[in-house]
Structure 1
Amino acid sequence: MAPMPLNVGNTAFMLLCASLVMLMTPGLAFFYGGLVGRKNVLTIMTQSFVSLGWTTVLWFAFGYSMCFGPSWHGIVGDPTHYAFLKGITLQTMFTGNDAGIPLIVHVAYQMMFAIITPALITGAFANRVTFKAYFLFLTGWLIFVYFPFVHMVWSPEGILAKWGVLDFAGGIVVHNTAGFAALASILYVGKRKVVENVAHNVPLIALGTGLLWFGWYGFNAGSELKVDSVTASAFLNTDVAASFAAATWLMVEWMNAKQPKFVGLLTGAVAGLATITPAAGYVSLSTAALIGILAGVICYYAVALKNKLGWDDALDVWGVHGVGGLIGVIFLGVFASKAWNPAGTDGLLLGGTGFFGKQMAAVLISSVWAFGFTYGMLWIIDRITPVRVGVAAEEKGLDTELHGEEAYPQGI
């Protein structure tokens, strides 16, 4: 069989998309950094940038192989097959579709997803987790949650993929797993002793949101892994859903708080981006607008519920990413249309009852596993090294206590 010829356009596009997704992790660092207090800015930004480095190491060593190597019962790939990217040369082509891109491009693109996913979780336990515990958490969570779900959903040999579950760009794999891991982490770690619910730097949040929104085009449109009309619809669906969600959140909060809040607008945009992610390449433009509106309302009230229940999810990871990813997968089960992606399927509204049921089952499985494993892993880590910082460290601020650095040194 002759090797697939290189498609220069698709290769260039996917390298650009990988770069955009990489930019989302620094964007997340700015977003989270602006939301926390002045004494904890560097700590939460460090957690994102540590993922940028350490996740790459794990991905190179065995992560890509666990995700896309030969399957073990459809659950996880053989970690030795592509270990240290052995056997991958300039001539090795990605065979998952007819895109004509080198395998090294697929390795790079998927690596950027692996980097940002665990970093999303850090906003939930902001200001109260030791760095040693976070490092162990990052490693274990990638190995036992993220890598297996990538394989199950996105590898052709994955059990959920074979079953017919769809997730265009990470509603299950990224946002749902991260969101419910966040919920488990806040319930295990407990509430902050020193609560700072006022964002210390709103312009920093806006910068982070802009970078996330910009990078999300690579996140969603790039998940087609080539350039075609589905790529274009996924691109526009991403912007439409984010915009409608931002406007909806703004108006809902305006009605409740009697003032239009800039941080609410920014948070609503991120909720819309998370919610459209699984459906971006499978639904119409009008559906994307509806999904954005629903995301703005549902995620806003999910955060309100979290507050009512007293869960100390510091930066609303569960309400935005967990709930956004969950409802996005469900909406995909309802609204999917082969008219907008012939390689997809039809959702509940077009007679796809079985597909809707599979989406519901998949999101339940991912939620339960991410929550249960995360809670158990934190318990194990606590036996090795304390997960939580002491009260004195919380009062002093983790930047100085854990890292010996300050974002805003006094007198400067």
Structure 2
Amino acid sequence: MPAADLAWLLAAFALVILMFPGLAMFYGGMLNGRNVLNMSMMVMSTLAVTSVLYVLFGHGMVLGDSLGGLGLIGNPLEYFALSDLTDSGSGGPETVYDVAFFLLFAAITVAIAASGAAGRMKFSGWLIFSALWLTLVYFPLGHWVFAGDDPESGTVGGWMRNVLELHDFAGGTAVHMNAGVASLALALVLGKRRGRPERPHNVPLVLLGAGILWFGWFGFNGGSALGSSYLAQYVVLTTLLAGCTGMLGFCLVERLRDGKATSLGLATGIVGGLVAITPAADTLNPVGALVVGFAGGAVVAWAVNWKTKLGIDDSLDAFAVHGVGGIVGTIGIILVGSASSPGETAGILFGGSWDIVWRELVAIAATMVFSFTVTYALAWCLDKTIGLRVDPEQETSGLDVSLHAESAYHLEAPTATVQQATVDVRVPAAEPVEAPKAEPAEAAQT
């Protein structure tokens, strides 16, 4: 691998790492001030859990030779402990992308799914759930989408990529749709939060988180180009454009529906546009990126409202933003893909083959059905055995204090010492007032 390509992959890797604190801020600001640290711990801990599992057997399950040649799951022992990749002379620069990037993809996926558990799930239960969810849901789906066939070595990859010939540039299915649907299933198992709906406690923190996520997304999509190339430049441009129009689409729907656009909606629209461009970043021309980003923000705004009316407590809207946003981006490939783009995939509105329609739709349906079914079954079994939800008292007092014995904010005012001042009030002496002189009375005339 040329040094320039390796340098870009290392830089992109660093950008993606920033998405974890960015997501923690984005999610944490939308909760009340009593649960912000718990949510931050849920997001950040996924990186630790994923790293352990991915090194031991996850890499083989995602990119290893498919067991039985069925394209369903990779061999977990093929890269066990990454020994085949890191032994002297057997590794290479490709390890940065093959291992490090796919590890981060897995970790950010399960972190997004934390939305469905916000403010009401045991932290220990979250760690167990995330480990099992990665093994049973993400690793198989990652194999379907990311593992390619290698005729020279006889390696068989995932069925979506090689049999269905799905076009998914950077994980619209395995990452975003998967995380959104998993969040929905987890929210249904846990049930609604107790008490009245909570308002975001720190909207500026949400905006900062959205900005950091956008920054990291340039590495997420740009690094998927596998090097410093024209393709990397192209997808960074389309990622920028979609994020911009995503915020406009969300704000427009808010303005038409509610009479006012909000900063919270603007931040959510940015992420909605970025999610939509992820599977389609290499297949759209700049105008197509503007259109798909705008559609992503607008449809996400509708989906957030729809979820609320149904009473589903997907606390931080992962299903609306990532699940629905990922569908919008995949449909964008079907409709407005450009043959002149690096992906060379023409949409049906530009003379493309209708064959792409059923392929992308089958991928959407398979992803959502598999993710929802397995996630719901896993969460239900854990809830019935170890118990996933915290006690009512802990939930009411907030998970920051009840589970972690700390608070995000200490706002006690210092005790002020007030000294009584002696005031010298001098009242000027009153001036003497002269009595009015009586006028002489007229003499009586006779």
TM-score normalised by L of structure 1: 0.94
Deviation at 1:109, TM superposition (A): 1.6
- Please tell me the residue identity of whatever aligns with 1:248: G
For residues 81-92 of structure 1, the aligned pairs below 5 Å read: 81-89=78-86, 91-92=89-90
Q: How many residues are aligned here? A: 400
Q: Which runs of 5+ in 1 are unaligned?
A: 1-5, 95-100
Deviations 1:27-56 (A, max 9, x none): 100111111001101110000110121111
CA distance in 1, matches of 2:346, 2:59: 31
Aligned position for 1:46: 41
Aligned position for 1:191: 192
Deviation at 1:91, TM superposition (A): 4.3
Note if 1:348 corresponds to 2:343: no
Aligned position for 1:3: none
Deviation at 1:285, TM superposition (A): 0.9
Note if 1:127 corresponds to 2:122: no
Mean Cα displacement is larger for which, 283-292 or 245-254?
Answer: 245-254
Note if 1:15 corresponds to 2:7: no
Deviations 1:99-132 (A, max 9, x none): xx43244311221111111000112221111112
Aligned position for 1:159: 159
- Please tell me the residue identity of whatever aligns with 1:37: N
Aligned position for 1:253: 254
User: Pick from 29, 32, 39: which aligns with 2:24?
Assistant: 29
Aligned position for 1:308: 309
CA distance in 1, matches of 2:254, 2:97: 42
CA distance in 2, matches of 1:250, 1:31: 18
Deviation at 1:352, TM superposition (A): 2.0
Change (3 A) 1:300 1:388: same
Q: Which runs of 5+ in 2 are unaligned?
A: 149-156, 414-446
Alpha carbons 2:85, 2:95 under 8 Å: kept: yes
CA distance in 2, matches of 1:91, 1:103: 12
Deviation at 1:284, TM superposition (A): 0.9
For residues 177-188 of structure 1, the aligned pairs below 5 Å read: 177-188=178-189
Mean Cα displacement is larger for which, 193-202 or 109-118?
Answer: 193-202
Aligned position for 1:97: none
Note if 1:376 corresponds to 2:362: no
Identity %, equivalent residues: 37
Aligned position for 2:421: none
Alpha carbons 1:36, 1:196 under 8 Å: kept: no
For residues 98-109 of structure 1, the aligned pairs below 5 Å read: 101-109=93-101
What secondary structure does 2:365 align onto? helix
Deviation at 1:15, TM superposition (A): 0.8
CA distance in 2, matches of 1:74, 1:295: 31
What secondary structure does 1:169 align onto? coil
Deviations 1:352-410 (A, max 9, x none): 21122110000100001111111100111113211111211111101111111211135
CA distance in 2, matches of 1:317, 1:391: 24
TM-score normalised by L of structure 2: 0.87
Deviation at 1:92, TM superposition (A): 4.0
- Please tell me the residue identity of whatever aligns with 2:162: K
- Please tell me the residue identity of whatever aligns with 1:346: A
CA distance in 1, matches of 2:90, 2:176: 31
Deviation at 1:337, TM superposition (A): 2.8
For residues 225-304 of structure 1, the aligned pairs below 5 Å read: 225-304=226-305
Change (3 A) 1:268 1:104: closer
Of Structure 1 and Structure 2, the greater helix share is in 1
What secondary structure does 1:394 align onto? helix
Deviation at 1:86, TM superposition (A): 0.8
Aligned position for 2:222: 221
Aligned position for 2:154: none
Deviations 1:236-274 (A, max 9, x none): 111101100101211221222222211110000000011
What secondary structure does 1:39 align onto? coil
Deviation at 1:93, TM superposition (A): 5.7
CA distance in 2, matches of 1:332, 1:68: 25
Alpha carbons 1:30, 1:208 under 8 Å: kept: yes
Alpha carbons 2:47, 2:108 under 8 Å: kept: yes
Alpha carbons 2:288, 2:337 under 8 Å: kept: no
CA distance in 2, matches of 1:146, 1:162: 18
Deviation at 1:347, TM superposition (A): 2.9
Aligned position for 1:98: none
Deviations 1:66-101 (A, max 9, x none): 11111122111111111110111364467xxxxxx4
Alpha carbons 1:194, 1:394 under 8 Å: kept: no
Change (3 A) 1:91 1:352: farther
CA distance in 1, matches of 2:10, 2:339: 28
Alpha carbons 1:244, 1:272 under 8 Å: kept: yes
CA distance in 1, matches of 2:307, 2:392: 24
User: Pick from 110, 115, 138: which aligns with 2:107?
Assistant: 115
What secondary structure does 1:38 align onto? coil
Mean Cα displacement is larger for which, 129-138 or 369-378?
Answer: 129-138
Alpha carbons 1:15, 1:109 under 8 Å: kept: no
Deviations 1:210-256 (A, max 9, x none): 11000000111111112222221111111101100101211221222
| RMSD over equivalenced CA pairs, Å | 1.5
